[in-house]
Chains A and B, each alone.
Chain A
C-alpha cells in the first residue's frame, strides 16, 4: 500500500512539475521562448501539493517521506533539462510511440492472419517475413512523418520572433535577445 500510494502521489506531483516547467515565466524568458500563460494555476498547485496533504490525512508518514524525497530529486531533474533537451526527449517519445504502434499493429495483423488461416503455430507469429507487412510499414512511416511535421509546426510557433519580442520587450533578457537577433 505504501509503495502504491507513493507511486500515485509522486506521479501526480511530477506531472504538475512538468506542466509548471512548461509554463514557467522566468525559464521561458531566459531561453527566449514565447510566453505561455499558466492555465488554472490554483489547480496546478493543487496537483503539486494535494498528494502530500492527502498522505498526511491518511497518516501514511512513510509514503509522505518517499514523496518528499522523490519529488525533490525528480524536480531537480525536470528543472535541469534545457528546452532543447525537452524537445529531444519528446521527439524520442514520439518516435518510440510510433515504433511501438507499428509493432503492435503488425502483431495484430499477424494474429488476425494466423487466426483466419487457422495456423496456430508459434513460428508464424515470430517469423519476420509476412505478407501484408510492407503496407503496414508504409502506414507507420506516414503516421510518423505526420507527427514530426506537426511537431515542427508547433516548434516554429514557439520560436521567438524579433518583432514579437520587441513588442513586449520590457525585461532585460528579452531586450538583449531581441538586440542580438537584429
Chain B
C-alpha cells in the first residue's frame, strides 16, 4: 500500500501534529464534549427549565397590545420566543447606533410575559448584544461554550486557533488511518500486558480505530464553523463580490426589502401558529415578524426537529393575509443543495437533533476522542522516556489531561458559590483560572500527577450536586416531582463520574488464571 518512506513521513506528521497542538486540541475536544450538554448544564445550574419550550396557541392579543405600547419605529422586527423558564419573550426591535461600540445594532424593547396569567414579568430596553448579560445564571453554560469555540482568545484569533486545531485533528485522524495497516484485522484486539509500550499503543490505536469516522466528522464540521465566517466568507467575497462581504451575505441570505410598505392590519398570529403546527408536526418555539403591521409583513415560524429528522424547520407566512409561503431554507430564498449542506453541519457537530439520546451519544464520542488524544500524547512521551528533554512535556501532558477536568469543575464551583449574589460572568472564568493555577502548582510538585489530580476531580464531581443544592438550587425531590430531566441526569452523571474517578465503582478484575498473552506483533 504505502512504501516505507511515505509511512515514515505520515508517522512524523501524525506525531508532531499531535504533539505541537495536542494539549490545546485536548482542551477543545474535552470542553466540546461537555458543551454538548450546554443547554442541560444551563437548566441544571438554573435549577430547571423546559427542554423544548413551545409557544402557546393564543398570543395574538398580547402581541397587539404590546405593539401599541412601543414606538412604531420598533415594529421593524417583532419576535416571540418561548423561554425555557416557561415565560414568553416578546421583543420589538429597530436598528440604531450603539454609542458604546459605535456600530449599528439591534436595539429592543423586551417584555417577558407569563403566558398563563398574561402578567408582565419584566420589561427591558437593551441592545441585543448586551442581552446575555441580563441572564446571570447562564454564565456557566456560556463560559463552557466560549472556551470550546475560541479558547477565550479574542476574535478573530480564537476562531483561527480552533479552526487550525480542527485541521490538526483531521490530519492526525487521516494520517493515523493511513499508517495503521491492520485496522480491520485488529479491531477486536484488546490491549495486552498492562504498563508496557505495546499496551499503551494498543489502547491508543483501538480507541482511535473505533472513533475514526466521528473524529473526522467532528473535526471537519468544527473546522467549518471556525473558518466559515472568519476566513471562508472573506475569501469568497474577495473575488466573487470584489471584497464586499455585505454583498456576499445578501446574495446568500437574500437582500432586504427595498419597496415602501403600506400599513395593513396584521393577520392573526394564533391562526398562523395553528397552521404552522399542523404543517411542521410541532408547535413553534420562535416567531419573527418582519415589517410588522405592513402589507409586506413576513412571519417566519421556527419549529423543533420533526420526528426522525435532524434539521429544524422554519416556515414562512404572509403577515397580512396569513397565506402559507413555503419552507424557509437556511440560506437563499429557495431550496438548494448548498443550503441543505449547511443546515446539517450544526446537528452533525452538536448532536442536538434528538434530545437527550443524541446528546448522550455525542458526549460519549467527545470523551472517546479526548481519550484518544490523551493516550496519543502519553504514548509519545513514553517512547521518549529516556530523553530528559521530553520530561517537561510529559509533565505538561499529565497536568493538562487531569488538570483540565479539575479546572472545569472548579469554574462550576465558583459559579455556584457566586450564583446567589455575585457577578457570575466574572467569577466563572475567574474560578477556572484560579483552579488552573492550583492544579499547575500541585502538578509541578506531585510525584505522580494523575494519582494526585484524579481523586481531586472525583471529589469535585461529588461536591457539585451538593453545592448546587446548598446554594438554593432545585432539590432532588423537587426535580423528580417536576420532571427536570436535565437536573437529575447531570447530578447522576457527576455522581457516577466522581465515584469512577475515586475508584469506588465495581470493576472487572480478570482472574490470574487467564493464559499469558503473546507479545505484540
A-side residues, CB < 8 A to B, are 1-3, 6, 20-21, 24, 26-27, 29-33, 58-63, 65-66, 68-70, 72-73, 75-76, 78-85, 87-89, 92, 159-160, 172-174, 176-177, 180
Contact = CB atoms under 8 A, between A and B. Distances in A.
Nearest to B347: A65
Interface string B307-337: 1111000000000000000000000000000
Contacts of B348: 65
The 7 closest A-B pairs by CB, nearest first: A84-B510, A69-B361, A76-B210, A24-B188, A60-B308, A84-B514, A32-B515
Contacts of B211: 72-73, 76
6 contacts: A2-B354, A26-B182, A32-B515, A61-B308, A62-B310, A87-B511
Interface string B181-210: 010011111111000000000010011001
A144 B476 CA distance: 39
A84 B353 CA distance: 38
Contact of A79 (B206, B353, B365): B206
A31 B519 contact: no
A33 B368 contact: no
B305 interface: yes
Given A61-B309, A69-B362, A80-B191, A26 B508 contact: no
A30 to B, nearest CB: 6
B252 interface: no
B517 interface: yes
Contact of B521 (A33, A83, A159, A173): A173
Contact of B357 (A66, A76, A92, A173): A66
Contacts of A1: 307-308
Contact of B361 (A73, A87, A174): A73
Contacts of A66: 354, 357-358, 361
Contacts of B203: 80
A65 B310 contact: yes
A30 B187 contact: no
A26 B354 CA distance: 37
B81 to A, nearest CB: 24
Interface of A is mostly: helix
B140 to A, nearest CB: 25
A26 B520 CA distance: 12
Of the candidates B206, B211, B348, B510, the one having the most CB atoms from chain A within 10 angstroms of its own CB is B510
Interface of B: 182, 185-192, 203, 206-207, 210-211, 213-214, 305, 307-310, 347-348, 351, 353-355, 357-358, 361-362, 364-365, 368, 508-511, 514-519, 521
B188 A79 contact: yes
Given A62-B310, A69-B351, A69-B365, A82 B357 contact: no
A72 B214 contact: yes
Main secondary structure of the interface of B (DSSP, over half): loop
Given A30-B518, A69-B364, A173-B518, A81 B357 contact: no
A2 B308 contact: yes
A31 B510 contact: no
Contacts of B509: 88
A62 B206 contact: no
B308 A58 contact: yes
Contacts of B511: 84, 87-88
A27 B213 contact: no
B368 A73 contact: yes
Given A69-B364, A84-B510, A180-B516, A62 B185 contact: no
A27 B188 contact: yes
A59 B368 CA distance: 28
Given A26-B182, A32-B516, A88-B509, 7 more contacts: A65-B358, A69-B361, A72-B211, A75-B187, A81-B508, A85-B190, A89-B508
Contacts of B182: 26
B357 A2 contact: yes
A20 B210 CA distance: 15
A68 B354 CA distance: 14
Contact of B354 (A3, A21, A87): A3
Contact of B210 (A27, A73, A85, A180): A73
Contacts of B307: 1-2
Contacts of A26: 182, 185-186, 188-189
Contacts of B357: 2-3, 6, 66
Greatest chain A CB density within 10 A among B187, B347, B361, B517 is at B361
